Amino acid sequence: MKKIVAGVFLTIFLLAGTFSALAAGSSTKTAPRIVSVSGNGADISVSWTVPEWSGLDSYEVQLGRTNENGTSFRAVKTARTDSSETVYDFTATQRGYYTARVRARDVDGKDTAWSGNGTVVVVNSEDVSGGGGPFHTDSSRGPGVKRSEGAANGSENGGPGVSGAYSSSAAGETRRRVRVNTYTANGWQSDNVGRWYLFPDGSYPVNCWEKLDGKFYHFDGSGYMEWNRWVKESDGSWRFCVASGEMAVGWNDISGKWYYMEPANGVMLGGGEHAIGGRLYYMNAGGDRVQSAWAGGHYYGSDGARA
């Protein structure tokens, strides 16, 4: 009897050790969740959530072939990103149905389970012939030549009193055409440089404001939409493109300073005292609002209004 009991305890002990070893070799932390899988021709962009646990080290993201319903997965490309990245762009080389999945790795080198598959995107034959994109005659993508370093469209560099902002002066061309229009739909387009807009005639806006879907957007000299960016007009006035690309109107907090843009045209109010919404505010020469300070013989409170 004693031998049987001892054998039972030994078996339990060995099983417990096995389960502990298995647990030590794998992570029970939750996997990231795919937010979106979107396609633009052969270019496929994948984004995912950040896991809600500490010790995150990196991500492994896979692009895979699937069926029309997205119920299968055959990996065709794998990439690893650091913990600060939650978006990765792939380029498909063959037509078909594609989806993606992602998993996280902690600082101990343990991987989570794979996330579920994302949505299904379709890559057509025309998307992978000729290199993709509107320019089939060279290696560039998107509507125009890529901007030079320091001229990224997502920067608040420049602005009132600072050089380096784009100008919307229409001294030059405001329309260009794609060399070969292979796009299956007009309207907003995206590539690895930014967003741009394709008109039905194959042209796209450059160096100008354009009203689209009832809102104004500014496009730079290469034809890409600007965002978080000051725009200096040919008459010396200033406008601003918010994070979504739309022209700013009303009060806007830009880099910790408050500015007021005319609701009718988006022009920033200049220096001096202005009546806004039945109250008086004072703007510095650069257009930013005076707060908790004296100006022009009057005191302006923490909200910028004259006391």
Q: 240-258: per-residue pLDDT in tens?
A: 999 999 999 999 999 899 9
Distance from C-alpha of 297 to C-alpha of 292, rounded to nearest angstrom: 13
Q: 152 pLDDT band (50/70/90 cuts)?
A: very low
Distance from C-alpha of 287 to C-alpha of 19, rounded to nearest angstrom: 66
Question: What's the average model confidence in pLDDT over 36-61?
Answer: 91
Take residue 123 and report the two structure tokens written for it.
């890559």
Q: 33-123 has which CATH code?
A: 2.60.40.10
Q: Tell me the percentage of the chain whose pLDDT exceeds 70.
A: 75
Q: Tell me the percentage of the chain whose pLDDT exceeds 90.
A: 48
Domain chopping of the chain, boundaries: 33-123, 209-300
Distances (CA, A) of 141 to 4, 87, 175, 240, 262: 75, 19, 17, 26, 36
Average of per-residue pLDDT values in the chain: 80
How high is the pLDDT of residue 104?
94
Would the CA dihedral through 13, 15, 17, 19 be positive or negative?
negative
Distance from C-alpha of 298 to C-alpha of 307, rounded to nearest angstrom: 8
Closest of 109, 106, 113 to residue 55, by C-alpha: 106
Total residues found in the chain within this entry: 307
The CATH number, out of the four listed (2.10.270.10, 3.90.1420.10, 3.40.50.720, 1.10.3720.10), of the domain defined by the range 209-300: 2.10.270.10
More reliable by pLDDT, 263 or 190: 263
pLDDT at 136 over 50: no
